[in-house]
A and B are shown apart, each in its own frame.
Chain A
Amino acid sequence: MISCLILSALMFLIVTFFVVIMNDCSVISVIYAAFLMFLYIRMTFAEHKKSGSGVIYRRIFQTVFAVGFCMAFISDLYAERGSMAITENALSSAELPFCHIAIPQVLVPLLVTKNIIFPARITGHYAAVASMLLIWFICTITVGRGWCSWICFYGGWEEGFSHVAKKRRIKLLPKNKELREFHFGFFFFIILASLCELACVYCDWFCPFKLVTEFAPATSIPTLIAMILFIGLFVGLVVVLPILTKKRTQCSSLCPFGAFASLTDRFSLFGMKIDTQKCSGCMKCATTCPFSAIDIKTIQEKKGHPEITCAKCGECVGVCPQKAISYEFRFRLNKGGCACGSSGSGKKSALQELLHPAHLFRFAAFTFSAIMSSGFMIKALNLVCNFVTSIGGAK
């Protein structure tokens, strides 16, 4: 209990500074800060009561952030260019916003040619290459692939749609391995094609999120084909399949950043472990996992951890009837292994509870999310307020 209060107090300080003070203490920023604090406190105390029961607050946050981000981003585009379409001027002057999905595509050509192949600013902008690379680096060593389930402003769309239907219409569990192989196969294709073409091939042809951000205007047959592709991919992989499968299909089959984050996740501080002694093999975790990171083989072969694509969303923690899945520190703090978070006998001290990997991971991920979302969400909330006021005024 004390650990929850300490963490909530620390989060309050972080949210106050990054959300309220950094946004001139506006009313909207206070409202958003209150929303964040509500989510964090509810999540922390729910997790304290029953581990895995706080995931609903993560889902709410990510879905709201995805919608808010797109609203703020599109309004920015309209203010700057008058449309969502990429203009010749923006393209030639390298003014396109750079997003994290483009990172794996630019890294290899950057190493070979010493050039950034994406037409974006290098510094001096929130969506510049340097700032996104810095965010990616911090993310890699802290939450790792947890980015996808906590912070990614696109993933929230799938998160939302995957919880629309009550029943799972298509079961992907027997195809998890093939899905992962396709994901990495597609990732390597994107890397090689980007290197060959010296262009961000995924952004040019396969990104489904162009529908909710910016896109090349359909002025020729290739751009028309690209438009058909991104609309089709958005409808198929971000809307229809998540509803039918209750999985994040785009994140676990197409997104190159997801595959890249899976490969670099071993450098992060946190991981997930499956206690093979406790596990009864009921497969509830494998069925629930939205990232297809737990297979029948993972459980049968007693691997002791989910597969490489685990995004540490915590969905499996809550559904496990044996409480066999938990967060862990990837690096042992001392020779005998860290006792932090171990459910040993006897009463846990407040400090031990505070240093529990699950608490610390959620704290790190939520801090990251709060900082990343504040600017966009406050802009989106301002837009909603203006819209509501204008409707009220018109009446």
Chain B
Amino acid sequence: MVLEAILLGLSTGTYCTMYCGPVLIPFLCGSEKIGYKRNSGLVGVFLLARLATYFVLGAVFAALGFLLNEYCDPVLARKLSTFAYIFCGLSLLCNSLGVKFPWGCGENGGCRAPKLRRMGNDWITAIVTGLAVGLHVCPPLWTAMLRSVFGGNGITGLFYFVFFYIGTLPFFIPLLGIPFIAKRLPVIRRISRVTQFCVSLYFLIFLGLISLL
């Protein structure tokens, strides 16, 4: 079961990176400060947030089991994806425009939550987009989800999900090398900001709001 989940993650991880790429690549390239440690931290936070959503989804679906067939909307995946795009688009838009989150600290103004003083705009964006991307039900995730739902008891299903997630992680390793390029080409940062802005509007309007019409 563990091997099957990891292999599923490994064989379909390309698609996961294809979905996460438009969110992560411009965000990391356009990040406020460029450095290997910070970049790795942002990728880690993003992936942990994504894992948190998967964990919740996995737990819910595994607990529901066969009841899912009875009570859930068959186009749930599509609806979840639409909301994921809107949620993700909004957070990317805020980040690309430099809008601070309510709990963030202003340049001169005080912090609403002083304990979160060190949490810059980028870290919040990494968490929010990670949570949002986790909601985006891509085909590999859907496969893992169904296997988790119909695979037996709740706990097994939940762990199936986690191991599937671990299987997809190697595909994110190349993202750790982003500072290598960004440091050599400073113009990349400004271009990435534009890309991030375009991606956020595309997610928000074309994949989110228009899909709701």
Interface residues in chain A, defined as those with a beta carbon under 8 Å from any beta carbon in chain B: 112-113, 181-182, 184-186, 188-189, 192-193, 195-198, 201, 205, 221-222, 225
Please count the residue pairs between chain A and chain B whose beta carbons lie under 8 angstroms apart in the complex.
57
Given known A112-B18, A221-B213, contact A185–B25 (CB-CB < 8 A): no
Q: Which residues of B contact A198 (CB under 8 A)?
A: 18
Chain B 166-202 interface 0/1 with A at a Cβ cutoff of 8 Å (1 = within): 0000000000000000000001001111110111001
* Interchain nearest-CB distance for A263 vs B (Å): 12
Instruction: Select from chain B the residue with minimum beta-carbon distance to A192.
Output: B22
Chain B, range 1-53, C-beta contacts under 8 Å to A:
14, 18-19, 21-22, 25-26
Q: Which residues of A contact B206 (CB under 8 A)?
A: 205
The listed residue (B190, B202, B210) touching A189 by CB distance below 8 A is B202
Contact (Cβ within 8 A) B14 A185: no
Given known A189-B202, A192-B26, A222-B210, contact A184–B21 (CB-CB < 8 A): no
Contact (Cβ within 8 A) B202 A201: yes
The listed residue (B22, B193, B197) touching A193 by CB distance below 8 A is B22
Contact (Cβ within 8 A) A112 B14: yes
The listed residue (A185, A196, A221) touching B198 by CB distance below 8 A is A185
Given known A221-B213, A222-B213, contact A185–B21 (CB-CB < 8 A): no
* Interchain nearest-CB distance for A115 vs B (Å): 12
The listed residue (B190, B193, B199) touching A192 by CB distance below 8 A is B199
Contact (Cβ within 8 A) B18 A193: no
Q: How large is the interface on B (under 10, 10 to 19, 20 to 34, 35 or more residues)?
A: 20 to 34
CA distance A124 to B130 in the complex (A): 45
CA distance A201 to B22 in the complex (A): 13
Contact (Cβ within 8 A) A182 B194: yes
Q: Which residues of B contact A222 (CB under 8 A)?
A: 210, 213
Contact (Cβ within 8 A) B199 A193: yes
* Among A112, A185, A186, A193, residue most surrounded by chain B Cβ atoms (within 10 Å): A185
Contact (Cβ within 8 A) A188 B191: yes
16 extra A-B contacts, CB within 8 A, seeds A181-B190, A188-B191: A112-B14, A181-B187, A181-B191, A182-B194, A184-B194, A185-B191, A186-B195, A188-B26, A189-B198, A189-B202, A192-B22, A192-B26, A192-B195, A193-B202, A196-B19, A205-B206
